[in-house]
Structure 1
Amino acid sequence: MLWARLVLPFQLNHVNVYVLDDGDSWVVVDTGVYNQATCDQWEALLSGPLAGRPVSRVIVTHFHPDHIGMAGWLCRRMDASLTMTPCEYKTAERMLQATEGELHGKFRALYGSHGLTSPCLEKVVAVGHEYHSIVSDLPGVVELMSRGDLISIGGRSFRVFTGGGHSPEHGMLYCEADRLLLCADQVLGRISPNIGVLPSEPDADPLGVFLRSLRDLRAEIPDDTLLLPGHDVPFAGLHKRVDELTRHHHDRCAAILTACKQQALSALELVPHVFERKLDLTQIGFALAETVAHINRLVAEGKLTQLERDGLYSYAAEA
């Protein structure tokens, strides 16, 4: 099993991809964003450490551009098959089939209803949502993997696990014999994966889904498993990390509740209570979507009340 780190044009400046020895060929897990720099890196890998054997299969954990971006390019370049969970593939298809104007319109409606106004609104929408330009066209045929499926790669048997919250049906591969979990972004060692609402589901509860997914992983995966994440470095200690992530999100919910006991606030006004650091235009969109996810969890629990006036939402809590 080989580990490569590909450059990303974001503040989070890299993504991990894993290449598994499958005897006469390679199996790739995740691919990086579609741009010239990543194409050059893949060409260097294919002509260097991967030379002499084809890539026969590309497994993509979820639809986000840093994981699926190069999948279509790599499948065509190597005549490889694509494997994904059904919801992740359908979400990627839907994103690619929508026009850029349609995508921007949906994000504009989401952010606008939660307090973001022009000209900042237009800048955030334009900068942060460029799916078409950094994801290559997908193959027309996909092999679907679902929770519980067994995938054999190079003599190892991997069981498919799925999670949610960060993405709809995030795929993971677990080898029980060797205590390996290719977990991509479902669990990260030093940062929390972004848990944000999608504009197509503004009232959804992705944080609730994410916390349940963490509990399931903690119950089913042994603590001594080596986790191979989508960013940063491999790590062990899954149970402790799940507890830390759970506490992190509970603390954010508590901060929102405290602020809303003073006065009704919009999601945009609550962003500084959730993210203390200064945010650039790209980060504001993600931060606002994540703040709404925490708000939706609190509304679902009956701890926050949503108020609406002239198409703008604010939130109040009992003092």
Structure 2
Amino acid sequence: MSVSEPGNTPAPAVTAEGEAFPSAPRRLQYVDMDAPGPGQSVAIAPGVRWARIPLPLDLNHINVWLMETDDGCIVVDTGMAASIGKDAWENIERDYFSQRPLRAVFTTHIHPDHIGLAAWLQERFSVPVLMSRRTHELSRAMWGGEGRSLLSEAEQFFQSHGVTDETQIRAMFRPERFARMTSGMPTVERFVADEEVLRWGVGEWTALETDGHAEGHLCLSNPTLRLLISGDQVLPTISSNISFMFGHGDPNPLGSFLSSLQRLRALSEDTLVLPAHGVPFRGLRQRVDDLTGHHLEQLDKLAALCTEPKVAMDVLPFMFRRELKDMHLFLALGEALAHLEYLVHAGRVRREWRAGLINYITL
């Protein structure tokens, strides 16, 4: 395997969902190989294979990683509970698991495209599922019976930030909607902690808890192979959604995200990044710098905008230059709030209740 020369391969288009934010040409070096088709896999590094599971979304795929062990393999992330995803895994079962049986499933974080088929794979292959303790807590709250109370919390939360359509809130956050994206709650036989070393295949993999995009998000770093399985923390052409949201415990998710980026930036300069979406690449430090700069620009923009009081809904047209509807609207609102709350914690903006709404005002 080789990597393309900088600038020879344009940043590949990945999705219409979320905010497209590719690095400039020559900033990243993409692997010089074709992406695997649905349910196919290709060697990407010693003992590691790259596979793709299709998603029924604008974001039409997730990369999953097959890691060889002495007696089989471990998979990282699963795809969403949809027939096209199950079909792809059945292809992998026939073409790869028949030689290297599946021994465990590792999920990087709570989002349905990463955890959605964990229970299905566990039941099909009778294997353990591994994740962070915080991912398990959030999963249990979302799909384990607390959904109705979360729905009530969602209504109060979004109304306080300027959303007036209660029907839209209920449609987006009803528990059944999220339940359909997963195959159920897996039985978690092991929680993986920050900086825990996992001895899988070639070298050792160190789990790095990198909050911001999702609480309890785990990346996997292999210093021997100079590999980083980055989940959604670092993507080559997308700025991952960072949301301040109801039901979460992190009061400053953007602060957590930016700190996590700096932690990853300290890895070897020639690290090959294996992202959850898009094409593997080298240029981790450049990508971290580009993402950090993007968020700092957004923060300055919002601080200037809030010289007059603003609710979160007011700032969306200044942050997102496109039509926002359905889940995209709520993701955008969560992102705006993450930036506004960062400014509150930095002492640049204050939060104030006015007529039942939370306003943000520059100090």
TM-score (norm 2): 0.82
Q: Secondary structure at the match of 1:62?
A: coil
Give yes or no for contact 1:124–1:282 (8 Å, CA) kept in 2.
Answer: no
Q: Residue 8 of structure 1 aligns with which residue?
A: 55
Q: Secondary structure at the match of 2:204?
A: strand
Q: Secondary structure at the match of 2:96?
A: coil
Note the residue ranges of structure 1 that are not aligned, 5 or more in a row.
none
Q: Residue 67 of structure 1 aligns with which residue?
A: 114
Give yes or no for contact 1:104–1:126 (8 Å, CA) kept in 2.
Answer: no
1:250 aligned to 290, 296, 305, which one? 296
Q: Residue 269 of structure 1 aligns with which residue?
A: 314
Note the residue ranges of structure 2 that are not aligned, 5 or more in a row.
1-47
Q: Secondary structure at the match of 2:352?
A: strand
Q: Residue 160 of structure 1 aligns with which residue?
A: 207
Aligned residues: 314
Give yes or no for contact 1:113–1:312 (8 Å, CA) kept in 2.
Answer: yes
Q: Secondary structure at the match of 2:281?
A: coil
Within-5 A mapping of 1:220-259: 221-259=267-305
Deviations 1:187-210 (A, max 9, x none): 111111110012024881100111
Q: Would you tell me which structure has more helix in proportion to its own residues?
A: 1
Q: Secondary structure at the match of 1:153?
A: coil
Give yes or no for contact 1:59–1:84 (8 Å, CA) kept in 2.
Answer: yes
Deviations 1:234-265 (A, max 9, x none): 1111111111111111111111112112x211
More displaced 10-residue stretch of structure 1: 26-35 or 271-280 = 271-280
Counterparts of 2:181 and 2:242, CA distance in 1:
21
Q: Secondary structure at the match of 1:174?
A: strand
Q: Residue 94 of structure 2 aligns with which residue?
A: 47
Give yes or no for contact 1:203–1:296 (8 Å, CA) kept in 2.
Answer: no
Deviations 1:243-288 (A, max 9, x none): 1111111111111112112x21110111111111222311001000
More displaced 10-residue stretch of structure 1: 8-17 or 288-297 = 8-17
More displaced 10-residue stretch of structure 1: 232-241 or 9-18 = 9-18
Q: Residue 209 of structure 1 aligns with which residue?
A: 256
TM-score (norm 1): 0.93
Counterparts of 2:325 and 2:96, CA distance in 1:
37
Counterparts of 2:93 and 2:230, CA distance in 1:
24
Q: Residue 168 of structure 2 aligns with which residue?
A: 123
1:194 aligns with 2:241: yes
Give yes or no for contact 2:299–2:339 (8 Å, CA) kept in 1.
Answer: yes
Q: Secondary structure at the match of 1:283?
A: helix
1:33 aligns with 2:45: no
Q: Could you tell me how far 1:65 is from its partner in structure 2?
A: 0.6
Q: Could you tell me how far 1:128 is from its partner in structure 2?
A: 5.9
More displaced 10-residue stretch of structure 1: 173-182 or 137-146 = 137-146
Deviations 1:58-103 (A, max 9, x none): 0111111110000011011011111111111211122111354333
Counterparts of 1:202 and 1:312, CA distance in 2:
21
Q: Could you tell me how far 1:154 is from its partner in structure 2?
A: 1.9
Q: Secondary structure at the match of 2:172?
A: helix
More displaced 10-residue stretch of structure 1: 7-16 or 200-209 = 200-209
One-letter code of the match for 2:183? S
Q: Could you tell me how far 1:228 is from its partner in structure 2?
A: 0.3
1:278 aligned to 309, 319, 323, which one? 323
More displaced 10-residue stretch of structure 1: 279-288 or 141-150 = 141-150
Counterparts of 1:201 and 1:53, CA distance in 2:
38
Percent of aligned positions that are identical: 34
Q: Secondary structure at the match of 1:49?
A: helix
Q: Cα distance 1:178–1:132, how it changes in 2: closer, same or farther (>3 A)?
A: same
